[in-house]
Amino acid sequence: MGRVIGIRHRVKKTIDGESRPTQLAILENGLVQLINLKTEDDELDFIATRLLSGDRIVMLLGGSGDNLAYALSNKGQQIDCKVYRISPFVFIKKIDEERDKDQDAHQLAALFIENPELFYEVTSRDRDMIWVIECFRARIDAMKARIACEQRIRQHFIGSIFCSPQGFYPEGSIEKLFEERKSNNHILQALLTEEKLREKELEKALEKVEIYIKILETVEGCGPLISARLISAIVDIRRFETKTKLRAFCGVHLKDGRFPRKRTGEVANWHNDARQALYLLGDQFNRRPNSIWGLKLRDKKTKLRAKHPEVEIVNGKKRYTNGHIQKMALWWVRGKFVEWLFREWWRLEKEDTIST
């Protein structure tokens, strides 16, 4: 019948230097073999030399194991070995006893033997999605490196002017001279070139992903970079049981009757990239008042103003000013967009399951 291999992927070292190897549990003929893969080299060695035809590998959806799932699935195509993943909320519900994460690998394998229908097979479609996430990370890293380089050049340039031993100060504005200095800096120009390459790589990767082609690309104002940020945050819609949980993950849920923001003493437990993507998207809706979502935004502002025609003073603060109405409507439309995305993404998944 072949082996069933449960995998709990982990980042190999914490910030404090604690070793955290990837844990494997191999079930075969009623016996269990436990293996720890301490480094990325060990993981690649396992994929290259220790996978067998007929193996079935099971992992959780999302998290740090996406790249490993990609490599395992890619290798599995060559040797007739399949990779399956399960939504975390389904896995947790099926565990009877209190969860011990160190037992995840064993419990994943055991659950697959009992209920294989709960798992999704990793296909080329999933690999395309994982590659988009990796391309987005690379693009963000390139952007951060370019920004850091610009800041270093600027700081050194301004410092060299003020600390000039000759006391000669340049004519014209500092900003104009700084732009000239930037254009002649080979390191910065190389970083700009890399950032453009990473952006093209990301756009090419998005062209293979259904959620972008069929859904996000059709939304006016939702360009490749906003789409990639949103996709890389959500990863897989099957991780979310309800639209409410997706809204909370994206930071557009209502808490005590108001949309959340970072406040002293409160935990900001949303995903920053998802919330940032929606913040940028809301701005695009506002700039496109005649688009579908722009019209929804305008309609909501009209209704809010009709409900609150006058500015009110609450606890010494003004409420329902034009700016307040604008913010309320923007967060409302962002929340509705997330609900729409939840429905459409799940529809795609169900259509793909039926066709498969």
198's enclosing H/E stretch is: helix 186-206
- Element of type H or E holding 23: strand 22-28
Please, are residues 26 and 81 in contact by the beta-carbon 8 Å criterion? no
Indicate the helix (H) or strand (E) that contains 314. Answer: strand 312-314
Residue 2: which pLDDT band, with cuts at 50, 70 and 90?
A: confident
Which of 9-23, 80-94, 131-145, 322-336 is the least confident region? 9-23
Contact present, 231 and 211 (Cβ < 8 Å):
yes
CA 122 to chain centre: 18
Q: CA–CA separation, 51 vs 56, rounded Å?
A: 10
Phi-psi region at 172: left, alpha or beta (left = phi > 0; alpha = psi -120 to 50): left
CA 142 to chain centre: 17
CATH of domain 4-122: 3.30.420
Q: pLDDT tens digit string along 200-211?
A: 999 999 999 999
- At residue 146 the predicted structure's pLDDT band, cuts being 50, 70 and 90, is very high
- Average pLDDT estimate for 1-24: 88
C-alpha angle 271-275-280 in degrees, rounded to nearest 5? 150
Spatial contact of 266 and 222, defined as CB atoms under 8 Å apart = no
Give pLDDT, residue 257. 54
Domain boundaries, the chain: 4-122, 124-208, 240-356
Residue 120 has pLDDT above 70, yes or no: yes
Q: Pick the range with the lowest mean pLDDT from 16-30, 133-147, 284-298.
A: 16-30
Output phi, psi for 249, to 5 deg. Answer: -60, -35
Q: What gap in Å lies between CA 240 and CA 342, rounded to an integer?
A: 9
Asked if pLDDT for residue 13 goes beyond 80, the answer is no
**Tens-digit pLDDT profile for residues 225-269:** 999 999 999 999 999 999 999 999 999 976 655 566 665 555 567
Tell me what the mean pLDDT of segment 136-162 comes to.
Answer: 93
Task: Determine how β-strand 56-60 pairs with β-strand 82-86.
Answer: parallel
What's the confidence (pLDDT) of residue 235? Answer: 93
Residue 90 reports pLDDT greater than 80: yes
Q: Mean pLDDT across the stretch 57-69?
A: 94
State residue 43's pLDDT score. Answer: 96
Give pLDDT, residue 254.
67
Mark residue 223 as left, alpha or beta (left: phi above 0; alpha: psi -120 to 50; beta: remaining).
beta
Percent helix, percent strand, percent coil in the chain, to nearest 5: 60, 10, 25
Query: How high is the pLDDT of residue 169?
Result: 66
State the DSSP H helix or E strand holding residue 86, giving kind and residue range, or none if neither. Answer: strand 82-86
Identify the pLDDT of residue 60.
96
Mean pLDDT of all residues in 311-337: 91
Contact, 30 vs 55, CB < 8 A?
A: no
Among 129-133, 147-151, 336-340, 348-352, the least confident range: 348-352
Exposure string of 58-70, with b = 16+ CB inside 10 Å and e = fewer, is bbbbbbebbebbb
Q: What is the mean pLDDT of the chain?
A: 91
Q: Look at residue 195 in the predicted model and tell me its pLDDT.
A: 98
Q: Are 13 and 20 in contact (CB under 8 A)?
A: yes
What pTM, to 2 d.p., does this model score? 0.87
CB 292 within 8 A of CB 220: yes
Question: What band does 4 get if pLDDT is binned at 50, 70 and 90?
Answer: very high
d(CA 22, CA 49): 17
Confidence of residue 351 (pLDDT cuts 50, 70, 90): confident
Both structure tokens of 190:
């190389």
Cα 39 from Cα 19, distance rounded (Å) = 9
Confidence bin at 32 (pLDDT 50/70/90): very high
